[in-house]
Structure formats: structure tokens, C-alpha cells
Chains A and B, each alone.
Chain A
Amino acid sequence: MPSFFKLSQRKKLRSKVKKQKEDPMKVDELTEPIYPLLEDQLSFIKRKTGNSADVVVRKASFDEKLGIKTAVVYVEGISNSQSINEFLIQSIIMNRELHRKSPEKDPFDILKEEIVALGDVKIHLDWDGVFQSLMSGETIVLVDGCSKALSASTRGGEQRSIEEPGSQVTVRGPRDGFTESIGTNISLVRRRIQNPNLWVETMKIGTVTKTDVSLVYIKGIAKEDIVNEVRSRLKRIEIDSILESGYIEQLIEDESFTTFPTFYYTERPDIVAGNLLEGRVSIMVNGTPFALIAPTVFIQFFQSVEDYYSRAYLATSLRFLRILIFFISIIAPASYIAGTTFHQEMIPTQLLIAIAAQRETVPFPAFVEALIMEVAFEILREAGVRMPRAVGSAISIVGALVIGQAAVQAGIVSPAMVIIVAITAIANFATPSFAVAISARIIRFLFMVVAATFGFYGIILGILVLAIHLTSLRSFGVPYFAPLAPLVPSGLGDSVVRTPMWALKKRPSLIANKQNQTRMGKNQHPRPNKSRGMVPRHPQEDQE
């Protein structure tokens, strides 16, 4: 809250009381101190929440002789009703005599110190805090005659349990995924990194939604500059709502004029933990299982978490495959168009004759043919993604029939084109990162247009522009194409290739803190005892 409000609080108080009734959302009113009378307090809460049904008020008398009443207020559903009943309401009712024994004490203090049997207890002096606590699932305890409120942490309620994440499935690796609750998510990471240096900075973003956003990093491994930069960018956000981490991503990214993501997002706690250990920063948002990771480099999107769990040779060859896949999904249709309309000399004669024979009956130019097929495929895919699962299979059958069989038999498209579209589609599905796969989908169409107008010259220029664009991107100051361009020799071990684990001695030097880059001891190469093979023989041992 801006501080000058507090200075002129009193004056504004009187003048604004009447207006407030018309506009319950007025912010100024919330900075007012809490009214002393319980009735006023409760009616204010009811008015502010518009008598919402899920706001529960339970009154109880605290000291019948003195007529002190208390009230417990909580929001049903987001709070843990069992602990409210047991540790708050029951406790208050059972301990009524405590005040009678020592009436000189402030009933509020007694309540706080001796009755409320819950961990996180806070005292609020103004309404703003009261509502924030109430709406985040805490329980408010009000005492008649006290112009303050007590909040006890009773967050809870129904949540999705931890399940295997739907995206980024692995064969080998942990099976737990993030849920919609930020507390659970942080705990999943904390369980993996049991270290006090794992710092979690939480802030509320969204003037209406008041969403919890946490900045998670490992103190000492993450670069201070980057943490400060992320924090200041988060602080700069002024928006009514944050419903998903995508909101944050779009508000704090370095370059918005691009199809490529400058944030990595994941719903796997092991990926978050791994990235935190490389010195990256994670942004978690309440209400979504997707955590953001920054700074991000392009090559990250071709790395799967399983690369680190499986052995190096497999991981390296898979990464090469993924890069190939990315290129195929971008330029396969474009190359087909360029090859069949500009550079027929490139195609081996036999193949050219085969393609020409297929195309004899096709009434469209190659570009239009490719465009029709690609668009048809995109439609099918979009339909498949959005439709209920039960209808999904029907769509794939219709799609396969329409695209695969009927169109070819009717001579509207050539079988070669179907093959190209199919390869492109499969390649696109095989791209490990959905975000990059989507940008490849868009860029593919641009490449098709340049290929149709200038052939391979257009494609090469397109690749040049793409390369210039990609290398000009930055994610929180880190060049997007690092460690390839600019070349960081120490980072190459975990880029296109993944060297064996014992050779990955350093954290990425552009990302991790300069003082703390070594991540393992010396001589980590496995050294098993040689028992067979070309080993010098010791006759004495044999005798034994």
C-alpha cells in the first residue's frame, strides 16, 4: 500500500464512510483499523464479502460474566475444517474459564497465547490483512472490544493429489508431478533439495486474485544479478489477475516479438530441482502445476530430464535425433516445395520420375497442395486436442481416411505429399518441448511461403533470419543460443552432446554463480577393480 494513505488516514476516514457503501471494492476502506465492536466487525466482513455462502461465521461466548464474545470466521472449502473445529472452536469453548481466572489479562492475548493451538498465528490491525488471510484459507478470530484480529493458519481443503505429470513423461525417473497447490509444489522441491540454502520468496501478485507467486532459488548457486532481476521484474507486475504461470511469463519475458519461449516450463519437480542446482531460478504460481524456469537457453528444449538419468551415449544420440527432428519439422514441407518446383535437378532421376508420375493428376501447384495438406493436418490436430477423449479416436479415423486414402485416390494430393506431411507431423510430435514444437509449427508455414517463391534460396535466407533472430534473443541477460553461440567451451559438455556424468564437473558458467561452479569432487570417473582381462597376474593370489 502506498504509505501516504496512512499519513492522512484520519481525514479520509470520515469523508469516505458514506461512499464506501456504494463501492465495496474500494481499497481505502481496507486500510482502516478494525472496529472495536464485534457486531460491527462481523457486519463489515459480511458486507465486504457480499454475504457469500462460503464465508462461515461461528460465534462463541468467551466470558459469559463479562459478556465477551468471540467469533471465528473462515472460508469453507479452502480451509481445513477439521483443525478449525478441533483447535479453534473446541479449544475456545473448553477454555472459557481461563479469562475468568485472570480477568486482568487482555482476552485477546489469552486467546493468542493459550487457546489457539495452531502453528502460524498472526495479529492484524487493519482489514486489509484480515481479508488477505481469510481469503487464503486462514481462520480469523475476532474478540468483542478488541480492535485487532487474530489469524490462524488453517489452509487446506480439497486438492488434487500428487499424480504422474501428463506432459514430459519419462520411462525412467520419478513419477510425481506438481499440483495446483503452491505449498505442495514447493514441498516437492524441498524434499529433493534438503538444504537451508533453498530460498523461497513469496509475494502476492494480482490486485484482484492476490495469487501467491514464489521465487525459488538456491542461495549461493544462483547468480545474485539474475535473482535480483527476476525479483524486480516480478515486483513491476501490476495486473488484476494471475491465473497461470503463462501470465507471468508473458509479462516479464525479455523479448515478446518472437515465437520462441524464453522460459522453460515444467510440471516435474525433478526438472525444477535440477535446474535450481544449475543456478537457475524457478517461479512458482499458486493454482497451476506449471513452474517457470529462467534463464533459459535454446538447447534446453532439446534436453529431456531422462538424458541425465540414462547413460551418456544414449542421451547424446537422442539429442542429435531431436535436433534433426526440429529441422525436419521446420523445413520438410518447404524442402519438398523447393525441390519439386525450383530444383528438380537435385532430385535423383528415378525419384523425380516417381514424384512426377504421382503429380500428373494433381490439379494444384505443389505449394497449394502442401498448404492444403498442412492446414488439414493442423485442423485435425486441433480437433483432436480439444475434443473429448471419446470423440478423439473418431477424428483420427476420419482424418486418416480423408487424408490418407480418399485424397490420394481421388488424385487431389500426391502420395509423396502425404508422406511429407506425415513425417513432419510425427517429427513435430516428437519434439520434446511443446513450446518449441508450437513455434516450429508456425515457422514451418513461413518457410513454405519463402520456399514457394524463391526455392532453396528462400529457405537458406529463412534459416539465416531464424539464426539471427535466435542468437539475438536473451533470457535474463543470458544469450539464448549459449553455449553454442557465443561458444562457451565449458558448457559444451551438456549441450548438443551430453558427456558422461563424471565429466560434467562444472555448472553452466553463464548461469551459475561465478564463485560456486564446481559441482563434484575430483576423480569422479568410476574406477572399478580390474579383475579380468589384460591385468598383470599375481601368482601368489592365484595360489590362495
Chain B
Amino acid sequence: MKAEKLNPSVKMAVILVGAVALSFQYYITVNVTVFLGFMLMLVFFSNAKKKSILALLLPAFLAALGLFFMGLYYARGNSLSAESMESVSNLPYAVRAAASANLLTALQLATRLLAFAGMGIFFGLTTDGERLVFSLMHQCRLSPKFAYGTLAAVNLLPNMVKEYGQVRTAFEMRGIHVGPVSAKVIFTMLVNSIRWSESVAMAMESKGFCSEEPRTFHYVLHVKWYDILFAVIVLGAIIGGTLILTGIPGSI
């Protein structure tokens, strides 16, 4: 059983509902469990490469660290400045108590972000784009016009990156210095994008793509028993865990 076989729409719905459920609780235990659970699924039940997991985890950890320090210094109610944190042991008890309250907030925020990242990375590395769009068409009634339009646009991405390099080189050759997000470059690329959209639409329609007529599908994705099982386990763990911890006073 591999995570790649899960129905993409179900996977997406579980993650969206899970994210909303996580947003209304502050238990570090729940957040860490979600993060570790998804990472374990990724390592043991998917074909994701370790290297690509790390490549996505790194920015997630950086963002979590940023949120951690923001919570540590600027939590609402008992904020501490950076200077007063330097010699913690010399500080009076009240200040250290405030710091520990802040530490709790900081951990709550940072672990929640990691829980989101765990789910997001799991989805990203186990979901094929085409399968996602096909599944959105069959399970979520996305119209084929939007589905194939999205796919066509995404598949233009490599051309877009190449184009970006060419446009910048063209400006440099004429002695015009352009920054990485110069409006001149964006404008030139927008011009090309609109021309592409016209030619791609024309190409699709001339090859018989018609969005109004009923059509047949080569790939049809279905919801299977293991999709339901996945949804029950993940959402059960998040919602059940939150409810259990609410019943135990003093749990974090």
C-alpha cells in the first residue's frame, strides 16, 4: 500500500479539513503527532525520495523557527524584549514565568506550522498533478475546461522559466540592467503569456477540444475503501486527540 494510490481529491479534502481542525486547537502534542505521523507515512508508505523531503522540510523549518522566535519575544500579554532574554538565570521569577508562558505560545505556533508543513509535503510528494486534476474532474465536478486549462498552464512552467532567462538576457544585451522582479521583465513575460494563452486555446480547439459537449475519459479515478480508511484515521486522530486532551487538565 503506497500513499501515491490514495485518491487525490480525498487526500486534499482530508488535509484541508485537518488544517481547519488544527487551527482551532493549541495542543503541541496533537501538532507534533500530526507532523511525525505524516513524515512516517512519507518515509515508509511512499516512493518519495529522502532528498526531496529534506528540500521541502528546510524552508518549513526556517518558517517555523521565525514563528517560534516571534512567539517567544512577542506573545500577547507578556512580551519580552530580546535583551532581557540573554541572562535568563539572573532574572526574577516573574520574568522567567512570563518567558515560560511565551515559550509555550512559541511552541504552539511553530509546531502548528510544522503540522501544516507535514501534511503539505506529504501531499506534494505523493500526488501526481495530472491525477489530481483528473480526480478533481471526477470527484469534485470541476469542468473539463478548467481542468485541461490548468494542466496546459502548469505544463508551460518549464517554458516560462526558460523564457524568464531569455528576457533578462535580452535586456542585459541592450545594456538595460534589470533586477530579479523588474516590472519590465514581468511585462514582457505577460505579453508572451497572453500570446501563449491564445495559441494554446486555438491549438486545443482545433484538435477537437470542446467543453460544452459530453466527453469520455481514459482515466477515471474512484474512491476506494482505503481512501475512507485514510480519512477516518487522520481526521479521527486530529479531532479525537484534541477532544481527549481537552478532557485532561494541564495537557499541552
Indicate, yes or no, whether A interacts with B.
no
| Residues on A facing B (Cβ under 8 Å) | none
